Amino acid sequence: MAELVPLTTPLPGPRLTGRSALVTGGASGIGAATALRLAAEGATVLAVDLDGEGLGRTVAALPAEATGGITPHVADVSDEDAVAGAVAVAVEGGGGLHVVANIAGILRAAHTTEHSLQMWDQVIRVNLTSTFLVCRAALPHLLTGGGAIINSASTSASFGHPWMAAYAASKGGVAALTHTLAVEYAKRGVRVNAIAPGSVRTSMTKGLDFPADADFDLIARIMSPIGPGDPASVAAVVALLASDDGAHISGEIIRIDGGTHA
Ligand code: NAP
Residue of 252, 248, 104 lying closest to 178 (CA atoms): 252
Give the global pTM: 0.97
10-residue stretch averages of pLDDT, the chain, 262 residues long: 74 88 98 97 98 98 95 98 98 98 98 97 98 98 96 97 98 98 98 98 94 94 95 98 97 98 90
**Cα 29 to Cα 13: distance, rounded to the nearest angstrom:** 24
Q: How far does residue 10's CA lie from ligand 1's centre (Å)?
A: 33
The pLDDT value given to residue 5: 75
Q: Which of 30, 59, 154 to mutate to test the pocket of ligand 1 (most atoms within 8 A of CB)?
A: 30
Q: What domains does the chain contain, in order, with CATH numbers?
A: 20-255 (3.40.50.720)
Single out the catalytic residue among 120, 163, 167, 185. 167
Contact between 195 and 256 under an 8 Å Cβ cutoff? The reply is yes
d(CA 24, CA 50): 9
Determine the 3-state secondary structure of 47 from DSSP. strand
